[in-house]
A and B are shown apart, each in its own frame.
Chain A
Amino acid sequence: MPKSSDNPRSELLPGTLEMLILRTLAAGDLHGYGIARHIEQASNGVLRIEQGSLYPALERLLEKGWAKARWDRSPSGRRARYYTMTPSGQARLDRKVAEYERVVGAITQVMSET
């Protein structure tokens, strides 16, 4: 995972990008650019995924078998590589979400302690 400390907008917890991508793919198949745009829009521009982070993360998902890739026509007519979540990707997402909620809950508890 590249550290992009020069970019204050994209400081993510380790493994979070993977979860965000899987969550995006859970809504339907999408190409890399679409995934980045979706995450950016859904986070109101806070989370901006760089190519240098996005594609290695996608490659990891492919290697783990959590996603598959195929070439297809994008609505604009250009060929694009679409990513699909596999059932094991869904399982992974569920696990990650549970973990994430646990961590966020813990952090919230610590922060609200006064």
Chain B
Amino acid sequence: MSWLDGLRHRTHVLLHRSEYDAELAEERRFHRGMAQAEGRAGEGPDSEAYEAVRAPRGGGGGWRGRLSTLADRLGQDLRYALRGLARSPGFTSVAVLTLALGVGGNAAVFSLLDRLFNQPPPGVADAERLRRLYIQMPRWIREDGRSGNFPAYSYAAFSAIEALGGDAYDVAAWTPSREETLRDGTLAMPVHTTFVSHDYFNVLGVAAELGRLFGNAEARVDMPAPVAVIGHALWKRDFGLDPSVLGRTIRLASGDFTVVGVSAERFTGLDLSYTDVFLPLGAYSPSLQSPVPWYEGTTSYLLAVARVAADSDDAQLSERATAAYLRRGLPGRASQRIDSTEVILAGPIVERRGPGSRAGPRDRDRAVSISTPRRPPCRLSSSSGQVSS
């Protein structure tokens, strides 16, 4: 590794130049001393001649000379390398492209993982006091002990938890964003929409860039309020930051909505995909058909986020939310009963961390459990006496 030795030497010279100059002077004194001791002092060139040779370029001598010599050499190397690259443009472009793709790919993957495991959603205020709420279902814990935590709530469960928050926490709900087509006059564009409870922006601490956010007028879940808040990115991309977007009617799959506001610039919703349009929960209609309105059924359409009050903590949040959750009304089918072993857990707001995790990714099955709840691990005896799972 001779180049490494050489590099180490050059680095040492560059970084410790005054010490190195002193070393060289001492070395010369030693040489002269030895020569004198052996009676050869008269021979050899004097120190000026020596110095001139030591610092052939860059004037000044000493470290300056060495530095400029080094710079000269680096410059030569660089020019040589560039000439070589210019001579073979094919190789050069392949190399540059490879590097560019590598760097770009790494950056993209890093920012995705960062968002999944480290960063809270952008644009929310005081993210350290925000919690995702999970329902811990002991009966659903798998035999290997993994994840019995469920992130979604029926409206009945959510409103029970919301009602009991008091001064311990505020809670808001939203539906996972879905893609649909927005029509504005002759324009049609794909957007991600989400339905949010009227407190959503308050709980997250997101302000309006323009117009207003949802208020109590949009709180009724059984009464669709035809208003929409659009995201800043959509406003910029498709409306050219035009303030006259307020009052405009946009058409979505769920109906026509009047734009009443634009959310703050950095905020893009709580989902990984940027949310473009926020609509009040009252306008929500799940694609699943059911004999009762969705908000009266037991299906879990909603995700919940809570803001812990400054003088409260996770334990109090969990306790109070659990009490509220277990007292929720059960409209719809009477066959379903409240399971008193279930507990509401407060988890980090970070996308892919489940409840109770601080350091690393956990709860990898969450995404799965949203769409396909696993069967309980308990074994049921069939009538024939055989055991099936």
B1, A65: Cβ atoms closer than 8 Å: yes
Interface 9-residue window, one of B43-51, B202-210, B217-225: B43-51
Q: Bits for A19-63, please: 1 = Cβ < 8 Å to B, else 0.
A: 000000000000111001000000000001011110110000011
Write the nearest CB–CB distance from A70 to chain B, whole angstroms.
11
Write the nearest CB–CB distance from B76 to chain A, whole angstroms.
14
Q: Is B180 an interface residue (CB 8 A)?
A: no
**How far, in angstroms, from A51 to B30 measured CA to CA in the complex?**
12
Chain A residue nearest in CB terms to B31: A33
B53, A65: Cβ atoms closer than 8 Å: no
Given contacts A52-B45, A55-B24, A80-B30, is CB(A2)–CB(B53) below 8 Å? yes
Range of interface residues on chain B?
20 to 34
B50, A55: Cβ atoms closer than 8 Å: yes
Q: Is A64 an interface residue (CB 8 A)?
A: yes
Q: Is B26 an interface residue (CB 8 A)?
A: yes
Select the residue from B2, B26, B33, B37 with max chain A CB neighbours within 10 A. Answer: B2
**How far, in angstroms, from A48 to B6 measured CA to CA in the complex?**
27
Q: Is A96 an interface residue (CB 8 A)?
A: no
**How far, in angstroms, from A36 to B26 measured CA to CA in the complex?**
17
Write the nearest CB–CB distance from B69 to chain A, whole angstroms.
10
Write the nearest CB–CB distance from B87 to chain A, whole angstroms.
27
**How far, in angstroms, from A71 to B1 measured CA to CA in the complex?**
22
Chain B residue nearest in CB terms to A49: B44
B10, A63: Cβ atoms closer than 8 Å: yes
Q: Is B358 an interface residue (CB 8 A)?
A: no
Write the nearest CB–CB distance from B146 to chain A, whole angstroms.
55
* Residues in A neighbouring B33, C-beta threshold 8 A: 78
Q: Is B16 an interface residue (CB 8 A)?
A: no
Chain B residue nearest in CB terms to A36: B31
* Residues in A neighbouring B34, C-beta threshold 8 A: 33, 76
* Residues in B neighbouring A62, C-beta threshold 8 A: 6, 9
Chain B residue nearest in CB terms to A80: B30
* Residues in B neighbouring A69, C-beta threshold 8 A: 9
Q: Is B319 an interface residue (CB 8 A)?
A: no
A86, B5: Cβ atoms closer than 8 Å: yes
Chain A residue nearest in CB terms to B35: A33
B27, A65: Cβ atoms closer than 8 Å: no
B44, A78: Cβ atoms closer than 8 Å: no
**How far, in angstroms, from A89 to B10 measured CA to CA in the complex?**
17
Known pairs A32-B27, A32-B31, A63-B6 / 15 extra A-B pairs, C-beta < 8 Å: A2-B53, A33-B31, A50-B45, A51-B44, A55-B54, A64-B2, A65-B5, A69-B9, A71-B23, A76-B37, A80-B30, A81-B27, A86-B2, A88-B1, A89-B2
**How far, in angstroms, from A110 to B6 measured CA to CA in the complex?**
39
A68, B5: Cβ atoms closer than 8 Å: yes
Write the nearest CB–CB distance from B27 to chain A, whole angstroms.
5
Q: Is B28 an interface residue (CB 8 A)?
A: yes
B30, A33: Cβ atoms closer than 8 Å: yes
User: Which residues of chain B (51-68) have a CB below 8 Å from chain A?
Assistant: 52-54
**How far, in angstroms, from A89 to B52 measured CA to CA in the complex?**
27
Q: Is B189 an interface residue (CB 8 A)?
A: no
Q: Is A79 an interface residue (CB 8 A)?
A: yes
A-B pairs with beta carbons under 8 Å apart, 29 shown: A32-B30, A33-B30, A33-B34, A36-B31, A51-B50, A52-B45, A52-B49, A53-B53, A55-B27, A55-B54, A56-B54, A62-B6, A65-B1, A65-B3, A65-B4, A65-B5, A65-B9, A66-B6, A68-B9, A76-B34, A79-B26, A80-B27, A80-B30, A81-B23, A86-B2, A88-B1, A88-B2, A88-B5, A92-B2
Q: Bits for A69-96, please: 1 = Cβ < 8 Å to B, else 0.
A: 1010010101111000011110010000
* Residues in A neighbouring B10, C-beta threshold 8 A: 63
Write the nearest CB–CB distance from A58 to chain B, whole angstroms.
9
* Residues in A neighbouring B7, C-beta threshold 8 A: 65
Write the nearest CB–CB distance from B25 to chain A, whole angstroms.
11
**How far, in angstroms, from A33 to B44 measured CA to CA in the complex?**
12
